[in-house]
Amino acid sequence: MKKTIYILLAGLCGVLTANAQLHSSTPPHDHQYYKNVVRQIQQQQQAAMPSFQSRFARTTTTYERIKAISNYNVAALPSGINDSTRYLYTGGGSQFDFSGMDYMSVWQFGSFIPYGYGSNVAKVNHYYVPAVYCDTALIYNAYYSPFHFYDKRYITYDSNYCVTNFADLYTQDSTTGYPESRFINKFDANSYLTETYTFSWSYGVWDTFEHRIFVYDINHHVIKDSCGGYDPLASTWTAVSKWLYSYNTYGRIAIATNFQYNSTTATWDSINLSKYTYNTDTLLQTTTMYSVPYTGTGPLQKNFHDSSVYVSGSPITSYEVQQSYFDNQVFTTDIFKKHFNALGLPDSLYITEYDSANNVTQGTKTYYTYDSYNNPTYAYSNNIDTSRHPWAYNTTLDVKITYYYETFTPGPLWVKHAHGTGIATVEVQNNMKVYPNPATDEISVELPDMVKGTVVNINIYNLLGQPVLTERLPWMSTVHQVSLGGLIPGTYQVIIQDQGNKDMYRKNVVKR
């Protein structure tokens, strides 16, 4: 399993005494060292950052979405363009991923990826969803030849912005088996992903490659997903792999175990296991992965660990350390740091990579500028010159990224999902109330004009836009109490919908 599936590009907020050590060519591998650094970062962020909502609260009905991104080799300017992507829309928008510092438009979801972690599962407001809800993405590059059309992606959505089809097409040359890919997804009435089909391009034919089925518990948590592969010779589906999931008390996945079907012994063999821990805002803090030893036999062994720090009160990562394990030894492989401007936007990203001997192998320092919508306009990068001792960044720019935008007026569904959080500052004033705010143990939902017996949905989302509590009930009184006992302190959004899942009321509530 590729570790890049789990990468959250991150960085450091503020200037720390530990910076000199972290930025050296010989990073320490001691776990306690990094725990101390993380503690310092968290303490500094408590008072340094404006609130996440205040930074991204929208005060106008006009939004901005990415239209194109161009990547340039600065040394070869003005004609040194490396690649460019053009995005076309009908009704969707975009949001910049401030953790990954990127715009993503890829919805692929292979069976080797656990549900919801590093996986783009085609459902809006799920963890790590792509940031561009376009209908078409056209990619051009000049890496291997003069600048030319290289790739195109097509995406279709249902009425809830769930992705029903995704196709990533390169050449569709019938004489090759080039890795074109296509995904078809199915959802239930509540927009939960139930099935996904994967197709691969093979010499002019779309071959059915995988069929993945998702099983949920009564709380709408995926507890199992199974993948079958299609055998064209037997014209039948055969068992290939499955994931089993367990959850913590806040409804977040704690352990994901991957099994592979052994047709020889007719047994399910455990091949991968991932453990997750979270911070007080229920954001992913550590990922520890285990896999089959390189010898091919024996119990699962730890092979990867990732730890992240977030900007206080937001889902934006600010610092990350990635480590690999081999023969009971731990090696720091990557360190990511961010610096933030006065508005709380990341204006610098530092990425440093190390080999097993603690030598810096490569890295970049990237500066970002922003427009009035808090979207990036330019990114300028300097690469590390490892030939210098000690190493240093190049004194001239190496790469420039330019972001182009267009404004649009979205419909209510896109407003709800803007910025990937589902958190808006708009309340629908129609005699509906949610109180108290702040709240401790419970909130009261008051719908004085609701006809008795009408089905009502009460949904509560965290900062990432993930559902943390859902109730669907026939409305039988004026006021209904909703317990917050299972939620940690923080900011949440309460969304009340009718039986057709149409929003009637939205409000941000703070739990103490």
Predicted pLDDT of residue 33: 52
Write the pLDDT tens digit of every residue in 7-47: 322 332 332 333 333 344 445 555 455 455 545 544 554 44
Q: Give the residue with greater pLDDT, 497 vs 215.
A: 215
Is 184 in a helix, a strand, or coil? strand
- What are the CA-CA distances from residue 159 to residues 190, 475, 479, 498 (Å)? 12, 25, 30, 15
Element (H, E) at 36: helix 31-48
Closest CA to 350 of 396, 306, 381, 311: 381
Predicted pLDDT of residue 238: 86
Write the pLDDT tens digit of every residue in 271-304: 999 999 988 767 788 999 999 987 777 899 999 9
Provide CATH 2.60.40.3080 ranges for the chain: 427-511
% residues pLDDT > 70 (the chain): 75
Q: Give the residue with greater pLDDT, 117 vs 404.
A: 404
Average pLDDT on 332-343 reads 91
Predicted pLDDT of residue 314: 67
Cα separation, 384 vs 362, in Å, equals 6
> Residue holding tokens 């055998």?
231
Predicted pLDDT of residue 344: 81
Q: Give the residue with greater pLDDT, 347 vs 472.
A: 347
- Give the least confident one: 52-66, 196-210, 465-479: 52-66
Average pLDDT on 410-431 reads 48
* Residues 6 or more apart in contact with residue 117 via CB below 8 angstroms: 6, 127, 128, 253, 256, 274, 276, 284, 287
Predicted pLDDT of residue 46: 46
Average pLDDT, the chain: 77
Average pLDDT on 423-428 reads 40
Confidence of residue 441 (pLDDT cuts 50, 70, 90): confident
pLDDT tops 60 at residue 421: no
- Compute the residue count for the chain: 512
With b for 16 or more beta-carbon neighbours within 10 A and e for fewer, the 314-335 pattern comes to: bbbbbbbbbbbbeeeeebbbbb
Cα separation, 207 vs 60, in Å, equals 47
Predicted pLDDT of residue 174: 60
Predicted pLDDT of residue 116: 65
Write the pLDDT tens digit of every residue in 78-111: 667 888 999 999 878 888 888 889 888 777 666 7
pLDDT tops 90 at residue 178: no
% residues pLDDT > 90 (the chain): 25
* Residues 6 or more apart in contact with residue 327 via CB below 8 angstroms: none
Predicted pLDDT of residue 163: 84
* Residues 6 or more apart in contact with residue 48 via CB below 8 angstroms: 13, 14, 312, 340
pLDDT tops 70 at residue 339: yes
Predicted pLDDT of residue 126: 40
pLDDT tops 50 at residue 380: yes
Predicted pLDDT of residue 503: 74
DSSP assigned state of 178? -
Average pLDDT on 322-340 reads 91
In CATH, the number for domain 427-511 is 2.60.40.3080
**DSSP strand pairing (346-354 vs 267-278):** unpaired
- Give the least confident one: 56-60, 62-66, 445-449: 56-60
Predicted pLDDT of residue 11: 33
- Give the least confident one: 38-52, 160-174, 182-196, 458-472: 38-52
Average pLDDT on 380-407 reads 90
Expressed in angstroms, the distance from the first to the final Cα of the chain is 40
Q: What's phi and psi for 120, nearest 5 deg?
A: -95, 95
Q: Give the residue with greater pLDDT, 129 vs 235.
A: 235
Most confident of 10-19, 51-60, 340-349, 459-468: 340-349
